Structure 1
Amino acid sequence: MDLCRPWICALIAALALVTAGAAPSFARDHDDARRAVEAGEIRPLVEILNAARGRLPGDIVGVKLERESGRWMYELRVVDGKGRLFEIHVNAGNGDVERTEEK
């Protein structure tokens, strides 16, 4: 799995921006996400993905940026080699994996 390919990062960033407005707890638009990065509240998605490389159980198929309990979280949807779907919740401020759930 090579997460550094530019097209993968661009696709994931686009998914994050598109899915970010899907519910009230999500960032309303890309401006919210950009402001949070500029204010130092969250790390850019590309940094999170680079740090996660090799630690994820498969390929990233979706990304959301949302607020959980007052904290920004990246939710990564990952499909492993056996076709199982996982949600990986990553603290957007420090990059720590908070929890992993098989769906």
Structure 2
Amino acid sequence: MFAAEFEPAVSHGRRVAERAPVSIDGDIGKARRTLCKVVDISIHGARLLTYCPLIPHSMIWLTLPEAGSLAAEVRWAEEFAAGCRFMTALDPEVFERLVALNRAGR
């Protein structure tokens, strides 16, 4: 017979940073742009609603107010929704300004 102590691992989910619900208009692409809506954001990535389907594991340029153009990898996509991870994390001050823009209704 075996005996051992068991201590469950503490899980905080998959998220590594605070995610804030927002409604921010953005653009995808550099030369040919398509509109999108950012519906939540963290310093590491965002969830988008798009007018054209995105392809998982593809690279995009996401342009946002206060942040400029950000290189991002599409991590998942389902029809006209997608999640992306920024190649370079947002500066926490830029993140706070984006969340504040949303609160101000812009």
TM norm. shorter chain > 0.5: no
Return the structure number with greater helix share.
Answer: 1
Return the structure number with greater strand share.
Answer: 2
Q: Based on CA coordinates, which of the two structures has the bigger radius of gyration?
A: 2
The TM-score, its normalising length taken from structure 1, stands at 0.28
The TM-score, its normalising length taken from structure 2, stands at 0.27
